[in-house]
Amino acid sequence: MSMTIGINAYLLIQLPVIMITGTVGLWLFYVQHQFEGVYWKRRANCHQSDPAFQIVRPITLLSSLRSCSYRLWDEQRGKLIGYRQLQKPGRR
Write the secondary structure of 56-80 as one string of H (helix), E (strand) and C (coil): CCCCCHHHHHHHHHCCEEECCCCEE
Read off the pLDDT of residues 17-71 as tens digits, 9 standing for 90 and up: 999 999 999 988 888 877 777 777 776 667 667 777 677 777 788 878 887 887 7
In a domain, 71, yes or no: yes
Query: Is residue 74, in this structure, part of any structural domain at all?
Result: yes
Total structural domains within the chain: 1
Please check the confidence at residue 85 and state whether its pLDDT lies above 60. yes
Higher pLDDT, 21 or 72: 21
d(CA 75, CA 80): 9
Supply the pLDDT for residue 88. Answer: 59
In-domain check, residue 66: yes
Question: Is residue 29 included in any domain, yes or no?
Answer: yes
CA atoms of 72 and 78, how far apart (whole Å):
11
Evaluate if pTM is beyond 0.75: no
